[in-house]
Structure 1
């Protein structure tokens, strides 16, 4: 995959974010998309050997649409400024997400504002064994790669059914349980980019497993 060409395409798209420009460059887009799907297929195969519970996700299934959803976000441009995809994504489980864009490149995973039932299950898991999640979050390599949980809206008080003096109240107040590893464009262009993805994926895996176990109850 020639990521330098992908960055060039996305840069030009953002300068000319219109259906007319996309129609005129549709062949270029389709070629890049095909190459990105092939790259995802290769990455998916590589990562499937990392552990037995990996959920195979073909590139065509994992890749996101490049069109923004204007029905819910009418003020956004027609097209996104990135290529994104999810891998290792069994139904109702925590994401592992890759984004390659002109403004940001990142690897992320977890649950973004899960539905009420899933959120309640995660909070119940924290109530039962929040020490395990806190231990994962406090790991030195975990902190180096992700810092802390993704900063999103939090409840001002304890969620229903929990007290404000709960030992893990700061975790329980979260609405999103996810982490993000930001990358520079230079990292994406390096020959060892796949190795970087594997490293981040494996460090994130205990966090995602914890969430999946909690959400499945």
Structure 2
């Protein structure tokens, strides 16, 4: 996979973010997209081999559309400046997300702004054994990869039904349960990028498994 070509396309698209340019350069878009889909397919096969609970995700299902949804967000550009993909994709399973863009690139895992039922289930799990989640978040190797800890998306008050003196009140206040590993473009375009993704996947597993178990048990 030529990731330099991918970023070059995204930069050109960002400078010419309109349908006329995309129509004129659709052949290049398809070439870049299809090459990335093959890379995702190979990654999917490797993750399937190392994780018995991994949900096989075809690249066509994994890769997000490059078009922005202008119906709900009319002020956004016509096209995104990134390729986003969700692997290990299954209902009620925490996400494993790869985001490659000119503004930012990262790998993320967890639940971003889940619906109230899923959020309630996660909080129930934390109420029951929040020390287990805290242990995962405090592991040195985990903290080295996910340096910012849990994504900062929290209530300013105490969630309904919980005491403000709860030993895990800081975890319970979260509205999102997501961690992020930021990526540099130089790392993405290097030969060892896939190995870095796999290493992040392995370290992320206990966190994602904790959340997935919370919403399925």
Q: Deviations over 1:30-55 (max 9, x none)?
A: 11111111111011001111121111
Q: Deviations over 1:57-107 (max 9, x none)?
A: 011110000001112211111100011101011112100000111111110
Aligned to 2:202: 202
Aligned to 1:150: 151
Aligned to 2:17: 17
Q: SS in structure 2 opposite 1:98?
A: strand
Aligned to 1:72: 72
Q: SS in structure 2 opposite 1:190?
A: coil
Q: SS in structure 1 opposite 2:50?
A: coil
What RMSD, in angstroms, separates the aligned Cα atoms of the two structures? 0.7
Aligned to 1:128: 128
Aligned counterparts of 2:130 and 2:90: Cα–Cα separation in 1 = 24
1:178 offset after TM fit, Å?
0.5
Aligned counterparts of 2:73 and 2:169: Cα–Cα separation in 1 = 33
Instruction: Please state if 1:212 is matched with 2:217.
Output: no
Aligned counterparts of 1:156 and 1:140: Cα–Cα separation in 2 = 28
Q: SS in structure 2 opposite 1:49?
A: helix
Aligned to 1:188: 188
Residues 38-53 of structure 1 correspond to what in structure 2 (within 5 A)?
38-53=38-53
Aligned counterparts of 1:136 and 1:13: Cα–Cα separation in 2 = 40
Structure 1 gap ranges (5+): none
Aligned counterparts of 2:126 and 2:168: Cα–Cα separation in 1 = 7
Aligned counterparts of 1:46 and 1:71: Cα–Cα separation in 2 = 37
Structure 2 gap ranges (5+): none
Q: Deviations over 1:156-192 (max 9, x none)?
A: 2211111111000000000000000001000001111
Aligned to 1:35: 35
Q: Deviations over 1:108-159 (max 9, x none)?
A: 010000000000000000000000000000010111111200122x112211
Aligned to 1:59: 59
* TM-score normalised by L of structure 2: 0.98
Aligned counterparts of 2:28 and 2:142: Cα–Cα separation in 1 = 38
Aligned counterparts of 1:5 and 1:194: Cα–Cα separation in 2 = 17
Aligned counterparts of 1:150 and 1:49: Cα–Cα separation in 2 = 29
Instruction: Please state if 1:3 is matched with 2:26.
Output: no
The ranges of structure 1 where at least 4 consecutive aligned residues each deviate by more than 4 angstroms after the TM superposition are none
